[in-house]
Amino acid sequence: MNAAIAYVHEQLTGKKEFPKFKAGDNVTVNYKIIEGNKERIQSFRGDVIKLQGEGATATFTVRKISDGVGVERLFPFFSPNVESIIVNKSGRVRRAKLFYQRGRSGKSARIQEKKRAIETA
């Protein structure tokens, strides 16, 4: 019985394929905004502060600095309004939740980029 419910739920919610990312990564989330009868896509670029939940209720929080003010936005993974997620930089962090970023500004708020091995073909 439970497997049947899970199957129907999976069929109804269209699963989109997003790239793997984690806390500390810099991402651009293209989000569909509906104003009256008009639709447009707005980009929100910032650092991922946390990932939480699993399955249909999974969400992630992105933080950016806009005009000197910190702005955080929570996005559901399986929202029909999330158009795409682009990973810009992979960050080097030691923890899963980066709430300490809220108290930081300027250079101390930067997250180091993870060095990747260069592939030679």
Tell me the per-residue pLDDT of 82-119, one tens digit each, with 9 for 90 and over: 999 999 999 899 999 999 988 888 888 888 888 877 76
Look at residue 68 and tell me whether its pLDDT is greater than 80.
Answer: yes
Report how far residue 23's alpha carbon sits from residue 63's, in angstroms, rounded to the nearest whole number: 11
Averaged pLDDT for residues 46-67: 92
Averaged pLDDT for residues 26-48: 93
The confidence score (pLDDT) of residue 104 equals 84
Report how far residue 63's alpha carbon sits from residue 50's, in angstroms, rounded to the nearest whole number: 10
Instruction: Look at 15 and 25; give whichever has higher pLDDT.
Output: 25
Tokens 């702005």 identify what position? Answer: 71
Report how far residue 87's alpha carbon sits from residue 46's, in angstroms, rounded to the nearest whole number: 10
Pick the CATH number of 23-102 from 3.40.50.300, 2.30.30.790, 2.130.10.10, 3.40.50.620: 2.30.30.790
- Whole-prediction pTM value? 0.79
The residues, ordered by sequence, that sit 6+ positions from 15 with a Cβ below 8 Å of its Cβ are: 78
